[in-house]
Structure 1
Amino acid sequence: MKLCLHSTECLNFRLRLCLFSKMNCRKGAICKVIGESVDDWSSLASECQDYAECCGFLIRKKGNDDQQTTIMGSMTLFPTKYPKSMYNKALAVQSAYNELYHKVANDYDFLKEALMGTAAADDFVQRQLELYDTVHREGPAALFSLAIVRSDYMYECTDGFNFKLGQIEFNTMASSMAAVSTKVGKVHRYMARILEDPCLYNGDSYPVNDAVPAIADSIIKAWLLYSNPKAVVMFVLGKKDSNFADIRSIEYAILERNPDVKVVMKTADALQKTSFLNEDKRLIIDDNIEVALVYYRSLYAPNGMTEEFWNLRLLIERSKAIKCPSIPYQLAGTKKVQQELSRPGVVERYLSPEKAAQVRSTFVGLYSLKNKEVVEAAKANPHRYVLKPQREGGGNNTYGEDIVAKLHEIERLGESDAYILMERIQPTKQYNCKLNGIVGNYCRCEPTVSELGIYGAIIGNEDEISYNTTAGYLLRTKLQHVDEGGFCAGYSAIDTPYLLSDEDMLKEIGE
């Protein structure tokens, strides 16, 4: 039975929820407030789901008959409390990270040296380097490149009194979920309003999320630099993208902000048959349509990368079309490059001392597997580390006791250059309720941890940076015992940060 949100019964429920929001997010406190009232939580979850679906917080899931059905994505019922200082720090360092990775992507010698060993152990990186060698010898045809990136972080309370922000990874290709993040923010604000709860609805505590318009603006700016108003922006998609609403929302934002920009959607399969370069190295599709900008939302992983796809990627790299991202940008986003940048003096080659210090303050321990001392430490204490390959898209890392067996396997196969070790951040635990439209909707308060991503966009070439901006945020929350954080797979839920001062945050987690 659905609870009427304006009934006397609901008023009592609101009072209990208000009490819940004032209390610390500890299991005992939550059980005290919730009691056995499953109906109340089901009604609240149903109201949340209705609004989320009306906002377009949707994904597509393959059914038993191989047909896709549209369902609500995973989200949290409440926003997650987050230290304002850590959020502001992540926001403030983004432009420096954009600049750093832009300069790294334009440093052929550094990328070759950093990834030479990795390429010998990883065929996917090897093929990318071969493409990079080819286009570098020929010289860049495009005048500019565009990168839409996301830097992901967790924070921990190091000594009970201070917070430390640590970077998980820097994503340079197909940095997704910008649109779904903004939709969940709307849902959380709506839920706070209908519950008439001032504890949950303090407008200043919800940071503005301009991810979609900022990303759309960066694509429009790059399109304008191509200087052909008849050329199109092309999104390169997989066969069946479950995260369709996230992709199409960016397309619609582009059209709203500049109706002169035509966006076309193409799968990599279709492009193999319909794309070519004319005599001026302009990318042409469907016989006579010129492409100004190629925005990749696929081809970031080796799965399904046929020889035809590699040829397509080389064709596009050789063209005058602006790439988002280019091959060197994709290489710059590998875990090995992240580890190389952590070495003393490397970041300082590209950034001013002030910016370098700002970036370094977010680093955690990153190690090559050639560091035998660290490898032995990881075998002895595997829960303090994460083992990472050169892959994007989630589901690739190794955690906990599995690290020991994986390290022995890597040593046996001689594949140490294909992986890095990262110190594992110990994020602060909070309780929240995860609504999961992917694996069956249930509503239960459980211990969770969160990962904050900050989007950025940068346009430039080897000689200059013409545009550099921060572009909104993403907060993903998962159950504390879950290692992987894939959204479309249902492991993580999209969330909203509810910003608190350090003093208030320490009270929340310390009592």
Structure 2
Amino acid sequence: MSIPQLSQVQEDDLVHALHHYALSNGLVMYPVGFKPHSPVAAPVTLYPTPFPQQAFEKAQMVQEKFNELYAKVSSDVEWLSAVLDSFAQFDAGFTGKLWESYKKAKEIGIKQNVSLGVFRSDYMLDHDQIKQVEFNTVSVSFGGLSSKVGDLHKYLNDSGYYTSSASRFYPDETIPVSESSVKLADGLADGVKHYNKSQGTKDTVVLVIVQEGERNVFDQRHLEYSLLKNHGIVSRRITLHELTDKTRVGHDRRLFLNSTDEEVSVVYFRSGYAPTDFKTDQDWTNRVTLETTLAIKAPSLLTQLSGAKKIQQILTDEKVLSRFIKSDVSELVSTFVKIYPLDGSDLGKEAKRLAFESPEEYVLKPQREGGGNNIYKEDIPGFLRSIPEDEWQGYILMQLIHPPLNKNKLVREGEVFTDEIVSELGRFGTILFDQSTGEVIKNSDAGWLLRSKFSNSNEGGVAAGFGCVDGVVLQ
């Protein structure tokens, strides 16, 4: 599908309308070095990007089963412990510390068995089939802005900005709008309502743990506004470091805010996914404190750890998969690409050979979230040679996915860039479950996200500066 062909004057009018809509409707983020009163329009595509409808629907179809899979994994402490004990040492500064934090929390006593998963499964297209890039179990982003960019593209199309004749360029039914800002808030509300019912409380709040100087704050705020508007539930925001001064824990491990005396029913992490979120030993202590409170965590430490890249690699083995999912797993397996360990096993030895003999077909991934951590293609051999071989086990080698290229235009801070782009579809899901028994209390799909980047950019993190938020036009 081609993009609209407009004159420069018409494109200028289109960009002008895009900025007005984005700023009027909260499709914004803070720039680097921001002041609180000065957000800018979020980086977006000028036009929605083509995506096969069948593949789009497949991602929705498998989301609840993926939710269940990772809930079951994080509930199987014996299996997860064996895996984490063997590989956490290879990322001792982060994965290892998360694992040690869980052990400390368990020693103190974990009072809340119910966990809330707020997940996102990311895919790229390969020959019109979705292939899973990764499964994210903590601080999944852009559920708020995804709804806004769909609304933006639909507005521009409905208003005739995509044609010289002021008519629609795309059939209206081909531009879906994600319900993620509403459905993710619904998932948080499930946690609050379960807590209130089980504890005999009311008017409890969601405590959002945020990064200091967060630039993507409006994406988060849209979920908070939906939570208040649709469920009457208030959110409060603090950093992990502020926990000591701004909260207190009662004798029964209930968590309260000092300033308002409000009880916290759900702790929702929008930070804590990278080592930089833990600047001091006190921050790690605070994470353990939260884990031992009565509040429901989104996610708990075990749920967060279940999203490690090593776990993703192990779950591509159908025999392992069948341990957790008793029904047919073929639809999940069809989304997998080959992922190898870099250990002393036969599979690991094969991975080491591939990393040096055909690195152009692979990406090397560490146990880290966020943009800028992966090693691509020809850079892999040199990187591996630069670190001790016993550290290689902290990485997985993943077969590269070859997505189609689409022509589009990206708008970032007032500038328009034209190039071929590649896109990544994220499918959100929420699941409330009892981690002590594996019982699923509520399991829901929660909308979608499309992110795009220039085809010559390896990383796609929007807040990290590599990509943009996109919308879909179904084919």
Calculate the TM-score normalised by the size of structure 2.
0.92
One-letter amino acid of the counterpart of residue 147, structure 1: G
Aligned equivalent of 1:150: 120
CA distance in 2, matches of 1:143, 1:110: 18
One-letter amino acid of the counterpart of residue 276, structure 1: R
CA distance in 1, matches of 2:429, 2:156: 29
Provide, for residues 363-402 of structure 1, a one-character-per-residue CA deviation record: whole Å limited to 9, x for no partner. Answer: 1111101212222212222221110000112211111221
2:319 partner SS? coil
Q: Displacement, 1:274? A: 2.8
Aligned equivalent of 1:363: 336
CA distance in 2, matches of 1:199, 1:345: 50
- Distance of aligned partners of 1:491 and 1:68 in 2 relative to their CA distance in 1, 3 Å threshold: farther
Residue 467 of structure 1 pairs with residue 437 of structure 2: no
Q: How does 1:363-382 map to 2 (within 5 A)?
A: 363-370=336-343, 371-382=348-359
Aligned equivalent of 1:204: 173
1:345 partner SS? helix
Residue 385 of structure 1 pairs with residue 386 of structure 2: no
Aligned equivalent of 1:425: 401
Q: Displacement, 1:143? A: 4.0
Q: Displacement, 1:358? A: 1.6
1:319 partner SS? coil
Aligned equivalent of 1:236: 209
2:275 partner SS? coil
Aligned equivalent of 2:376: 399
Aligned partner (choices 179, 188, 198) of residue 144 of structure 2: 179
Q: Displacement, 1:304? A: 4.5
* Conserved? CA contact 2:121–2:428, under 8 Å: yes
Provide, for residues 441-493 of structure 1, a one-character-per-residue CA deviation record: whole Å limited to 9, x for no partner. Answer: 32243111100000000001032111000000000011101001010133211
CA distance in 2, matches of 1:383, 1:45: 38
Aligned partner (choices 34, 47, 58) of residue 28 of structure 2: 58
**CA RMSD, Structure 1 to Structure 2 (Å):** 1.9
1:78 partner SS? coil
* Conserved? CA contact 1:62–1:69, under 8 Å: no
Provide, for residues 145-204 of structure 1, a one-character-per-residue CA deviation record: whole Å limited to 9, x for no partner. Answer: 1111000000111xxxxx221000001101010111111111101111222756633232
1:209 partner SS? coil
Residue 339 of structure 1 pairs with residue 308 of structure 2: no
CA distance in 2, matches of 1:209, 1:24: 23
One-letter amino acid of the counterpart of residue 467, structure 1: K
Q: How does 1:114-133 map to 2 (within 5 A)?
A: 114-123=83-92, 124-133=94-103
Give structure 2 stretches of 5+ with no counterpart. none
* Conserved? CA contact 1:233–1:295, under 8 Å: yes
Aligned equivalent of 1:269: 241
Aligned equivalent of 2:301: 327
CA distance in 2, matches of 1:80, 1:220: 32
Aligned equivalent of 2:62: 93
CA distance in 2, matches of 1:84, 1:448: 19
Query: Which is further off, 40-49 or 247-256?
Result: 40-49
Aligned equivalent of 1:14: none
Aligned equivalent of 1:170: 135
Q: Displacement, 1:38? A: 3.3
CA distance in 1, matches of 2:470, 2:42: 11
Residue 316 of structure 1 pairs with residue 290 of structure 2: yes
Aligned equivalent of 2:74: 105
CA distance in 1, matches of 2:8, 2:73: 53
Residue 69 of structure 1 pairs with residue 38 of structure 2: yes
* Conserved? CA contact 1:484–1:491, under 8 Å: yes
Residue 291 of structure 1 pairs with residue 264 of structure 2: yes
Q: Displacement, 1:140? A: 3.2
Q: Displacement, 1:52? A: 1.5
* Conserved? CA contact 1:173–1:300, under 8 Å: yes
1:404 partner SS? helix
* Conserved? CA contact 1:272–1:309, under 8 Å: no
CA distance in 2, matches of 1:230, 1:41: 49
* Conserved? CA contact 2:159–2:168, under 8 Å: no
Aligned equivalent of 1:491: 466
Q: Displacement, 1:63? A: 3.0
Q: Displacement, 1:314? A: 0.5
Provide, for residues 95-149 of structure 1, a one-character-per-residue CA deviation record: whole Å limited to 9, x for no partner. Answer: 0000000010111122122222321111211111112223334553114111110
* Conserved? CA contact 1:79–1:496, under 8 Å: yes
CA distance in 1, matches of 2:109, 2:250: 17
Q: Which has the larger radius of gyration?
A: 1
Residue 214 of structure 1 pairs with residue 191 of structure 2: no
- Distance of aligned partners of 1:92 and 1:234 in 2 relative to their CA distance in 1, 3 Å threshold: same
CA distance in 2, matches of 1:435, 1:41: 12
Query: Which is further off, 110-119 or 236-245?
Result: 110-119
Number of aligned residue pairs:
458
Aligned equivalent of 1:446: 419
- Distance of aligned partners of 1:360 and 1:139 in 2 relative to their CA distance in 1, 3 Å threshold: farther
Query: Which is further off, 269-278 or 484-493?
Result: 269-278
Query: Which is further off, 359-368 or 441-450?
Result: 441-450
CA distance in 1, matches of 2:150, 2:177: 9
Give structure 1 stretches of 5+ with no counterpart. 1-22, 158-162, 501-511
CA distance in 2, matches of 1:24, 1:485: 23
Aligned equivalent of 2:454: 479
Calculate the TM-score normalised by the size of structure 1.
0.86
1:391 partner SS? coil
Aligned equivalent of 1:9: none
One-letter amino acid of the counterpart of residue 323, structure 1: K
One-letter amino acid of the counterpart of residue 386, structure 1: V
Identity rate, percent: 34
One-letter amino acid of the counterpart of residue 182, structure 1: S
CA distance in 2, matches of 1:181, 1:289: 31
